[in-house]
Chains A and B, each alone.
Chain A
Amino acid sequence: MPATRRHISPHYQRYLNAKSTVFQGLCVVFAAIVLAVFAFVAFYLFSQGIHHIGLAFFTEMPIPPGMAGAPGGMANALLGTLILIALAGVVGIPLGMLAGIYLAEYSSNSWLGAPVRFISDVLAGVPSIVVGILGYELLVVPMGHYNGYAGAAALAFIMIPIVARTTEEMLRLVPHSYREASIALGASKTRTILKVVIPAATGSLVTGVMLAIARIAGETAPLLFTALGSRLLTLNPANPFPSLTVQVFNYATGPYKDEQDLAWAGMLILIAIVFVLNLTVRFTTSRMQRERRGRAR
């Protein structure tokens, strides 16, 4: 190469430089386009949402169009989403974490590790509507009616592989010397994992869980055939169960202007939840990275 380069004519070199500048510019333009599109989307969602949100959103139930006080609020949907997330978490987080611990701590000598790791990666990419159909066949048809449990189970299904893989990765970040030290001091493997490895990784495990929650909080498709939705305040998940996303979908695709406005407000709340979760994750991870770097020094 050096030999050939010396013979490049100044013209050709100038052409190459110009071409390089053009492509450099193109990259900047592309990045600018991407950011501009997203700024537009984000701004629009935010301004519409903030414009239509009010106290009634949090305190009132939906009121049918044409009645006094319509369209009311989304208190039932908000509560419904929180309950669904909690239920999904109760099932999904422990199962996902167990699988993650297995992958990080036990799998190296087993044939099971590689396929489980691979399948959880693949499961994380399964279209969520397909998971909804699974929930319908397994939990709605046998129970005889649409219900919140089926919705929560579908969400847990989506959650488990995500929690498993983040748990594994977070545990792997715990320096190996910790484990060796613990074992050298006579602790059993169980004790090492429970008292040394997991506490060392608690912060990052929580962030993993938060990412998974952020993911399921916005899911609509798996709830369409499972929890179905409801206009009532519902606490018993054996009933058809309201959720923010399904209600937003129904309102947004409907013709009533005031319900569409309410949908924007609901959307903003959803995005705010996701944003706060992501922001927390970012701060905790960057703090942990700093600490780790400090330790390494």
Chain B
Amino acid sequence: MKLFSVLKMAVVAMALPATTAMAADRLQGAGATFPQPYYQRLVAEYQKLTGATIDYQGIGSGGGQKGIAEKTVHFAGSDAPMDRKVIAKCGGAENLVEVPSCAGGIVAIYNLPGIKQALRFTGPVLAEIYMGKIRRWNDQKLVELNPGVELPDQAITAVWRTDGSGTNFVWTNYLCTQIAEFKSSIGAGLKVQWPVGLGGKGNPGVTHTVQQTVGGIGYVEQTYADQNHLAYGLVQNKEGNFVKATPKSVSLAGAGAVDQMHGQMIPANIWHQAGKDTYPIASFTYLIVYKDLNNLPDKEAAQTLVNFLWWATHDGQKLAAKLDYAPLAPAVQKKVEEALKTITYKGEALKIGE
């Protein structure tokens, strides 16, 4: 290991005579692709408004969390709460701030030309499809769920994420609540090993692969389905109703979450929630920063970042609904405000929410 660090230092010393710090006038974010359309829109609008340049790269939630731990980004996007091990790498939960920026529904998209009406799925059926137990679209279980639909005799191609993904995290955790067998054979996580199907990179990659594959089924954030006109199914919720994902049915899932939120790390899992009209596969997506922004080049940059976070969780919320995400409920927003107000720069207070 010693050799390694010496090598590293030598190369760095040789290759970087000039500026190595990121430009102060620019903020770098990376992570989840689930909110990518929303964040890219946010930063574009925010730039118009204030001139601040912010870049967000969708590389997967795992990549975002890793970026925060290794300080390769200023802020991270993740749909999965920070992993315990990654938090430890960051020096513990008290060093971090994690707030939801919006909620979204993960929908089961499919490519079945000729099927006009939205299909109905239940959690166990989706789990069995991804376990490779249901292999054809005219499987008895699917037919029973969808009376009156002419399901084709077509093989099912399950499409999933190849990268470390919060969408994966939510999807697998939801499916784990549905069948015990899923939990023991596949399990939950940012990245799991799927027994069947095709992989796509990021929400965009999964969407594209389903678009191209007749008989394909995939799981993506609702925006991707809507923007690209892909069909997606209704999913049976805890009360037994078949619900379509909408900003409204998703925000119902987030309503009860406020009780789970304490302090400045406020992730809350909102899949499989109670409620008659609640969409069952919902998730918050989180913005993660260090509580003390000493990884930023200067105080001004830190101020810009908190201004942006504040704006994103307040005025920016209007854009969320436009892109089919569910805006934060006022009660949740309160918790977010409290969390954001703990942020400092090298121990100095920042103007937050003024």
Contact = CB atoms under 8 A, between A and B. Distances in A.
Interface of A: 63-67, 91, 137-147, 149, 153, 228-232, 234, 236, 238-240, 250, 253-257
B42 to A, nearest CB: 9
Q: Mostly helix, strand, loop or mixed at chain A's interface? A: loop
A122 B243 CA distance: 59
Contact of B7 (A65, A138, A239, A254): A138
Contacts of B202: 253-254
Interface in B7-65: 7-9, 11-12, 15-16, 19-23, 26, 28, 30, 37, 40-41, 44, 53, 55-57, 59
Contact of B70 (A63, A144, A229, A253): A144
A143 B20 contact: yes
Contact of B204 (A140, A228, A238, A254): A254
Interface stretch (B115-123, B177-185, B205-213, B268-276): B205-213
Contacts, number: 105
Which of the listed residues B9, B26, B71, B200 has the most CB atoms from chain A within 10 Å of its own CB? B26
Given A254-B208, A255-B208, A63 B44 contact: yes
Contacts of A140: 72
Given A238-B23, A253-B205, A255-B208, A66 B12 contact: no
A67 to B, nearest CB: 6
A247 to B, nearest CB: 11
Nearest to A64: B40
Contacts of B57: 228-231, 240
B228 interface: yes
A138 B11 CA distance: 7
Which of the listed residues B40, B72, B200, B208 has the most CB atoms from chain A within 10 Å of its own CB? B72
A60 to B, nearest CB: 12
A236 B40 CA distance: 21
Contacts of B71: 144-145
Contacts of A230: 55, 57
Interface string B71-91: 111000000000000000000
Contacts of B9: 142
Contacts of A254: 202, 204-205, 207-208
A232 B26 contact: yes
Contacts of B22: 145, 147, 236, 238-239
Chain B interface size range: 35 or more
B227 interface: yes
A255 B207 CA distance: 6
Given A143-B16, A229-B57, A255-B208, A239 B23 contact: yes
Contacts of B19: 236, 238
A236 B21 CA distance: 10
24 contacts: A64-B40, A65-B37, A66-B37, A91-B15, A138-B7, A138-B11, A138-B12, A139-B11, A141-B8, A141-B72, A143-B20, A144-B71, A149-B15, A228-B30, A228-B59, A229-B57, A231-B40, A231-B55, A231-B57, A239-B26, A240-B57, A253-B200, A253-B205, A255-B227
Contact of A153 (B15, B70, B323): B15
B8 A240 contact: no
Given A144-B70, A255-B207, A67 B16 contact: no
Contacts of A65: 37, 227
Contact of B28 (A67, A239, A253): A239
B64 to A, nearest CB: 12
Interface of B: 7-9, 11-12, 15-16, 19-23, 26, 28, 30, 37, 40-41, 44, 53, 55-57, 59, 67, 70-73, 200-202, 204-205, 207-208, 211, 224, 227-228, 295, 322-323
A108 to B, nearest CB: 30
Nearest to A236: B23
A144 B202 CA distance: 24
A139 B227 contact: no
Contacts of A253: 200-202, 204-205, 208
| Nearest 4 pairs of A and B residues by beta carbon | A254-B204, A255-B207, A64-B40, A145-B72
A11 B242 CA distance: 80
B21 A238 contact: yes
B55 A255 contact: no
A140 B71 CA distance: 10
Contacts of A149: 15-16, 20
Contacts of B322: 66
A26 to B, nearest CB: 35
A231 B44 CA distance: 10
Given A149-B20, A231-B56, 7 more contacts: A63-B44, A91-B15, A146-B30, A232-B26, A236-B22, A240-B30, A254-B207
Contacts of B28: 145-146, 239-240
A50 B16 CA distance: 40
Contacts of A257: 228
